[in-house]
Structure 1
Amino acid sequence: MRYLKWGFWLVLVGVVGVFLSYDLPRHDIVRVVGTEVRRVDFGENSLFWAAPDVGTASATSRDVRFINTVRPSGKALVFRNEDTGWGWPPYFKLDSSDLQAQAESLISTKAEPIWVSVTRYGWRSRWLTIYPNAVGMKVVPGPDARIIPWANIIILTLLALVVLTIRAMWRQFRERSIDPLLEDAEDAWDDAGEGARNWFDRLFGRK
């Protein structure tokens, strides 16, 4: 039973960790090198793409905006630029066209770089052909700029408070309701066992 309990909690923690890893915002310091619009046919990886722009029709194939960037290390990083609308994750992003125009205005060269911090969620996987979704960007002084993830700090703090509150409520409920029932059941079992022994003693004339 102990192994089942620990297995359950490990699976739960793993699922929550994957969920938070994908949905929480992150910040990448990059240099924008270009933008483009590609026609994408969605297949098994459709789960990792956002819905069509708000006000447009849904389809299994549509044009998707992309922002091509380069990290300070020289490694390429490509973002998709899609509305999240009113769905999940709740970024309420409705301005992908404006963000694309902003990205185009920040295109720079290696000789005269403009470094920007791109706020995004999601993963980049070449194997699954998925891209993180850019939700905002701002110019930063340089490639070593430090971005404090205030949103993540607040969300994780609130999540920890919720978990601690639920844990405290469960412990109170268990102490007030479940433990007394278990104790009564244990006492009833002991009384039944004692009664059975007395009955057998009387039946066979034991003293």
Structure 2
Amino acid sequence: MRWFLTVLGVIFGVAVFLFLDYSLPSKQTVRITDAYNRLTEIGANAIFFASPDTGTVQNAQGQRDVRFINTARPNGKPYVYRNEDTGWIWPPYFKYDSSNLQAEATDLESSAADPQWVSITSYGWRVSWASIYPNAISIKPVSGPDERPFNWGAQIILAVLGAILFLIWRMWNQFRERTIDPAVRSADQAWDRLDARADAARDHVLREAGEARGWLRRRWDRLRGR
């Protein structure tokens, strides 16, 4: 049973980590190389794109007109973002300005010869083989490729979650100390009393049985004339 609970705990921990890793905002310093729209096939990876509730239009062939932002990292490697409204769905970024963000991205395009570095805040993963893209939330110009703005959003959310977990842990400890532990001690004491009574009853029965055997032996000896 213990190994099952351990495996269950590990699976739960990994699931929570992946959930937070996908949902929390992240920041990357990049150079924007292009901003454009493209008809994109939405299939099994639909969960990683915006929900139709945000006003997204999709044609009968399962294609959607999605805004993309192409970027280059300081090490020269490409990194592609999508730019979609989130609406009121999860994660709750309440983003409705994807058109304005696309205009900002277009205005901040630059070449390798004359780079303009920006910090893009986004959420999600980039998985090339599954056509999964992080969703850009905001763009801020930075002074250079080595500048790494502090991720206040993720840190504040993690701090709030930590405080909530600590509060739940404290409430559980108080509930256990006030309710569960006394009940367990009472049950243990009741079991001990029951066990003591059972031992006393067993000793009494054994004593009575011994006395009965002794009486029968004496009667038998008398009958035999001993």
| TM-score after normalising by structure 1 | 0.92
CA distance in 2, matches of 1:95, 1:202: 86
Indicate the larger mover: 185-194 or 92-101.
Answer: 185-194
Alignment map for 1:7-156 (pairs within 5 Å): 7-52=7-52, 54-57=54-57, 60-156=62-158
Indicate the larger mover: 112-121 or 197-206.
Answer: 197-206
Question: Match of 1:190?
Answer: 192
Question: Match of 2:205?
Answer: 203
- Deviation, 1:105, is 1.0
CA distance in 2, matches of 1:96, 1:145: 25
* Aligned alpha-carbon RMSD (Å): 1.9
The alignment partner of 1:116 has SS state of strand
The letter for the 2-side match of 1:17 is F
CA distance in 1, matches of 2:53, 2:198: 74
- Deviation, 1:3, is 3.5
- Deviation, 1:55, is 4.0
The alignment partner of 1:182 has SS state of helix
- Deviation, 1:58, is 6.2
Contact 2:29-2:148 at 8 Å conserved across structures: no
CA distance in 1, matches of 2:46, 2:35: 22
The letter for the 2-side match of 1:106 is L
The alignment partner of 2:40 has SS state of strand
The structure whose residues are more often helix, as a share, is: 2
CA distance in 2, matches of 1:53, 1:173: 42
Where in structure 1 are there 5+ consecutive unaligned residues? Answer: none
- Deviation, 1:5, is 4.1
- Deviation, 1:200, is 2.3
Q: What does the per-residue CA deviation read over 1:15-37, in whole Å, with 9 as the maximum and x for residues that have no partner?
A: 21111110111111111111221
CA distance in 2, matches of 1:55, 1:19: 25
* Counterparts in 2 of 1:56 and 1:130: CA distance versus 1, 3 Å: closer
- Between Structure 1 and Structure 2, whose CA radius of gyration is higher? 2
CA distance in 2, matches of 1:182, 1:28: 53
The alignment partner of 1:204 has SS state of helix
CA distance in 1, matches of 2:100, 2:31: 18
Contact 2:87-2:96 at 8 Å conserved across structures: yes
Indicate the larger mover: 56-65 or 43-52.
Answer: 56-65
Where in structure 2 are there 5+ consecutive unaligned residues? Answer: 211-226
CA distance in 1, matches of 2:189, 2:115: 77
The alignment partner of 1:33 has SS state of strand
- Deviation, 1:57, is 4.8
* Counterparts in 2 of 1:77 and 1:53: CA distance versus 1, 3 Å: farther
The letter for the 1-side match of 2:128 is R
Q: Percent identity?
A: 47
| TM superposition outliers: structure 1 runs of 4+ over 6 Å | none
- Deviation, 1:50, is 1.5
Contact 2:57-2:65 at 8 Å conserved across structures: no
Given the alignment of the two structures, is residue 172 of structure 1 paired with residue 193 of structure 2, yes or no? no
The letter for the 2-side match of 1:127 is W
